[in-house]
Amino acid sequence: MRRPIIAGNWKMNNTASEAVELVKQLKPLVKDANCDVVVCVPAIDIPVVKKAIYGSKIRLGAQNVHFAEKGAYTGEISANMLKEYGVQYVIIGHSERRQYFGETDETVNKRTLAALAAGLTPIVCIGESLEEREGGLTEKVLDRQIGLDFQGVEDFSKIVIAYEPIWAIGTGRTATDEQANETIGYIRKRMKRVYAGKKVGRMRIQYGGSMNAKNCKGLMAQPEIDGGLIGGASLKAADFATIVNFDK
């Protein structure tokens, strides 16, 4: 059985004091969670959130990582720097990183390998745009990302994939339960073909397209969906807790 994982992506939200207050509200609401609970916070919030989540079921995640161990990369953060601060998960290749900051399949691959080498669990984002979906290119896009983003990975039980249809991120639009399940099922089958023998069957795949407190139960009832990468709803303790407690 694949254990569900619900991860909140705070994006560029919450000052240190706001982050502590949000975690304070969240902790009692998720204390009986039957899934892995992660908050992926702005890098500057990592130290205070580490302290705030102590003793709870919440795990700490980052939103990006560089592929080099050290060097002249102004503004970047290495995997070992994150590891030393208690970070366990890191989002890689989010569509906003690809769109606004020049992330490519090549750099996603390099960052993923760096995270794994440091003992972090990468949450690797893949997915198609609205134009690509409407043009019937969803599988072609996913095939490209699957072929390039994961080269050199030997144990896929140590990776989480977040399928995020770009057209459903921050737009309020959501794939139907069946659409999300079908596409995630395709990703899983394709991964098994391309990376046979590398524990792909134990890899978890989240849905990352505007899952919220209202639609989470339907999405999480689908057999291929192992969790959610949550954006806006992760900024409200009650909404995020509702998603975490989808089975109650």
Are 90 and 62 in contact by the 8 Å Cβ rule? The answer is yes
**What pLDDT does 109 receive?**
98
Q: Is 154 exposed, middle or buried (0-12, 13-18, 19+ CB in 10 A)?
A: exposed
The CA distance from 157 to 147, in Å, is: 17
**What pLDDT does 133 receive?**
84
- For residue 147, what is the domain's CATH number? 3.20.20.70
Active-site choice (96, 128, 132, 164): 164
The CA distance from 40 to 133, in Å, is: 28
Name the domain count of the chain. 1
Is 128 labeled as catalytic in the residue annotation?
no
In percent, the amount of the chain with pLDDT more than 70 equals 98
Q: Which domain holds residue 228?
A: 5-244
Is 94 labeled as catalytic in the residue annotation?
yes
* Average pLDDT along the chain: 95
Among 15-24, 130-139, 230-239, the range scoring the smallest mean pLDDT is 130-139
Active-site choice (94, 96, 103, 128): 94
Write the pLDDT tens digit of every residue in 81-140.
999 999 999 999 999 999 999 999 999 999 999 999 999 999 999 999 888 888 999 999
List, in order, residues 6 or more apart from 131 with CB less than 8 Å away: none
Closest alpha carbon to 206 in 165, 146, 237: 165
> Would you say residue 168 has pLDDT above 90?
no
The CA distance from 181 to 119, in Å, is: 29
The CA distance from 18 to 5, in Å, is: 24
> pTM score, two decimals?
0.96
